[in-house]
């Protein structure tokens, strides 16, 4: 199973009045360790229920490919094969690995699905409440680096060159799966829908009578408080990443679940990153990269992906805002 790595607290869904024969339906199931919510408008209750059921089955099939919690998943099999030469992979896995390598290069290594040795170390540390020592972190770092993953497009194989390498899709999986579900709904003539995977949100057309789905953004370091404004979005995706739920404290410092592979430690900046992107995959991975990168470089990365961000952080007891120019057109005070 996945665990929730990103969140938007207090998401608000403000619906317009339903026009014609369409009605609003909501479906929820526990997937990837958190609620998986689907809201859609449809003129047939049976069709709505059937599509929701098929959507959740689609989620299960993708988790069976991408989970690093399941030892039988395709991702786990790839990691178990590290250091043993090329391994054929499915077309779904190939596409994800190929994109992840591109994102690694675009982000200057700040997004790295080979982070598994470090993320597993920190996951265990949070569970046992024992801060990892420096030798353990340095040892884990030796097995990290997507430059050590070789993709062969001719034979559709992946090679993890170093034994001990572990792939982890936690920084991209939820957004990717949310987008896959939205694509499935759209292919089945559902044009007004919202998919929410613990704050990784993908939207199609706005509900009738509105100009968008309305989304709240949590304050940095707050589980309930929202910023004094809302996003109004349609046919886009949005994700917020912060450390309000997943972190570890040690010697007066708060270490986020988002790990900087360059240092081996969870980041300590009290930063919330919200990214608006054309699809859920990009919104998800960009929040991780922008949590680590300096603000100026983060701006260049999101611009390359045709995305926007809002970064909020506490500085000397005050909230400081950093946002791309295009973010403002979606922000409603």
Average pLDDT estimate for 76-82: 98
Structural domain count, the chain: 1
Q: What pLDDT score was predicted for residue 245?
A: 54
Specify whether the CB–CB gap between 270 and 33 falls below 8 A.
Answer: no
Distance CA 261, CA 288 (A): 12
Is residue 15 predicted with pLDDT exceeding 60? no
Residue 152 lies in a domain: yes
Is residue 24 predicted with pLDDT exceeding 60? yes
User: Higher-confidence residue: 18 or 253?
Assistant: 253
User: Higher-confidence residue: 57 or 12?
Assistant: 57
Residue 96 lies in a domain: yes
Is residue 13 predicted with pLDDT exceeding 50? no
Count of CB atoms within 10 A of residue 315's CB?
A: 9
Q: Closest Cα partner for 174 from 241, 261, 106?
A: 241
Average pLDDT estimate for 314-328: 89
Residue 206 lies in a domain: no
Spell out the residues 6+ positions from residue 185 whose beta carbon is closer than 8 angstroms to its own: 38, 40, 51, 55, 193, 195, 204
pLDDT band, residue 322 (cuts 50/70/90): very high
Whichever domain contains 103, its CATH number is 1.10.3980.10
Average pLDDT estimate for 240-257: 75
Residue 154 lies in a domain: yes
Residue 93 lies in a domain: yes
Print the domain residue range for 113. 85-160
pLDDT band, residue 190 (cuts 50/70/90): very high
Percent helix, strand, coil in the chain, to 5, is 35, 25, 40
What percent of the chain stands above pLDDT 90?
Answer: 76
Residue 136 lies in a domain: yes
The dihedral through the CA atoms of 266, 268, 270, 274 has a sign that is negative
- Share the mean pLDDT of the chain: 89
Q: What pLDDT score was predicted for residue 189?
A: 97
Distance CA 72, CA 32 (A): 15
- Helix ranges (H only) for the chain are 45-66, 74-80, 91-106, 116-128, 134-141, 173-187, 280-292, 295-304
157-181 b/e (C-beta count within 10 Å ≥ 16 → b): ebbbeeeebbbbbbbbbbbbbbbbb
pLDDT 10s digits, 110-161: 999 999 999 999 999 999 999 999 999 999 999 999 999 999 999 999 999 9
Q: What pLDDT score was predicted for residue 14?
A: 35
Is residue 47 predicted with pLDDT exceeding 90? yes
Structure-token pair, residue 59:
């989620």
Residue 44 lies in a domain: no
Whether the model clears a pTM of 0.85, i.e. scores above it, the answer is yes
User: Higher-confidence residue: 258 or 80?
Assistant: 80
What percent of the chain stands above pLDDT 70?
Answer: 91
Residue 22 lies in a domain: no
Structure-token pair, residue 299:
């701006």
Q: What pLDDT score was predicted for residue 8?
A: 36
Structure-token pair, residue 276:
């608006």
Average pLDDT estimate for 85-94: 97
Task: State the first-to-last Cα distance of the chain, in angstroms, to the nearest integer.
Answer: 37
Q: Order the strands of the 87-88 sheet from edge to edge.
A: 87-88, 157-160, 149-152
Structure-token pair, residue 223:
């589980």
Residue with tokens 């526990």: 30
Q: What pLDDT score was predicted for residue 224?
A: 66
Question: Cα 49 vs. chain centroid, distance in angstroms?
Answer: 26
Specify whether the CB–CB gap between 255 and 266 falls below 8 A.
Answer: yes
């Amino acid at each position: 199973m996945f665990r929730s790595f990103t969140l938007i607290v207090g998401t608000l869904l403000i619906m317009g009045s339903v026009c014609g024969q369409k009605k609003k339906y909501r479906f929820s199931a526990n997937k990837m360790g958190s609620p998986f919510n689907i809201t859609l408008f449809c003129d047939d209750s049976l069709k709505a229920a059937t599509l929701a059921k098929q959507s959740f089955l689609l989620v299960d099939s993708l988790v069976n490919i991408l989970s690093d919690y399941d030892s039988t998943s395709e991702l786990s099999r790839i990691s178990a094969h590290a250091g043993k030469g090329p391994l054929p992979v499915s077309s779904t896995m190939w596409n994800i690995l190929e994109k992840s390598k591109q994102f690694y290069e675009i982000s200057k290594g700040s997004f790295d699905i080979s982070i598994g040795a470090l993320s597993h170390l920190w996951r265990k540390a949070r569970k046992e409440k024992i801060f990892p020592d420096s030798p353990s972190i340095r040892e884990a770092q030796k097995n990290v680096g997507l430059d050590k993953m070789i993709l062969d497009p001719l034979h559709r194989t992946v090679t993890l060159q170093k034994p001990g390498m572990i792939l982890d899709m936690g920084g991209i999986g939820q957004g990717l799966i949310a987008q896959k579900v939205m694509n499935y709904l759209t292919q089945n003539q559902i044009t007004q829908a919202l998919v929410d995977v613990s704050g990784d949100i993908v939207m199609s057309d706005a509900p009738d009578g509105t100009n968008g789905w309305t989304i709240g953004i949590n304050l940095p370091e707050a589980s309930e408080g929202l910023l004094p404004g809302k996003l109004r979005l349609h046919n886009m995706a949005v994700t917020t990443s912060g450390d309000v739920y997943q972190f570890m404290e040690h010697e007066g410092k708060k270490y986020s679940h988002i790990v900087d592979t360059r240092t081996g430690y969870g980041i300590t900046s009290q930063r919330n990153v919200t990214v608006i992107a054309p699809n859920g995959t990009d919104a998800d991975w960009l929040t991780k990269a922008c949590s680590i990168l300096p603000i100026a470089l983060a701006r260049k990365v999101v611009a390359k992906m045709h995305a926007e961000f809002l970064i909020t952080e506490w500085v000397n007891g005050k909230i400081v805002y950093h946002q791309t120019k295009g973010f403002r057109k979606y922000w409603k005070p």
